[in-house]
Amino acid sequence: MLKAGFIGAGGRSQGAHYPNVNRLEDDVEMLGACELDEEKLAQVAQKYEFPHTFTDHRKMLDTLDLDVVYCVMNEKWILQPALDCLNAGKHLFIEKPPGANSDETQQLLEAAVANDVY
């Protein structure tokens, strides 16, 4: 079973990603959620019964033994959390463009290759 963490609890992640991953309950354990907005974090924690919640994605990465992280946020803010996930050796799922520009996309590719993750 894959152990999954989530960074972001905005409208897109709550409308598509959380419910779709939740349907994979026999294959994926939704282990942790991270969101700066504590109200949104409380909503997803209650609805999807997350055993662990965080407002700092680095703490989630340090605390939980995750296989994959869903990082669902605007490309303006995705670079550092995505790099942190890749550099922690976690496979990464992102929806948005992989960075705000080609330089950021290249940084993500290099981190994925260096850490042997997708």
99: helix, strand or coil = coil
- Confidence class for position 74, pLDDT limits 50, 70, 90: confident
Single pTM value for the model: 0.94
Q: Indicate the SS3 state at residue 88.
A: coil
CATH of the domain at 19: 3.40.50.720
pLDDT category at 104 given cuts 50, 70, 90 is very high
**Which residues does 52 contact at the CB level (< 8 Å), separation at least 6?**
31, 32, 33, 60, 63, 64
How many domains are contained in the chain? 1
47 lies in which domain range? 2-115
Angle at which helices 79-87 and 102-115 pack, to 10 degrees? 10
Q: Residue 39 and residue 35: Cα distance in Å, rounded?
A: 9
Report pLDDT digits (tens) over 46-70. Answer: 999 999 999 999 999 999 999 999 9
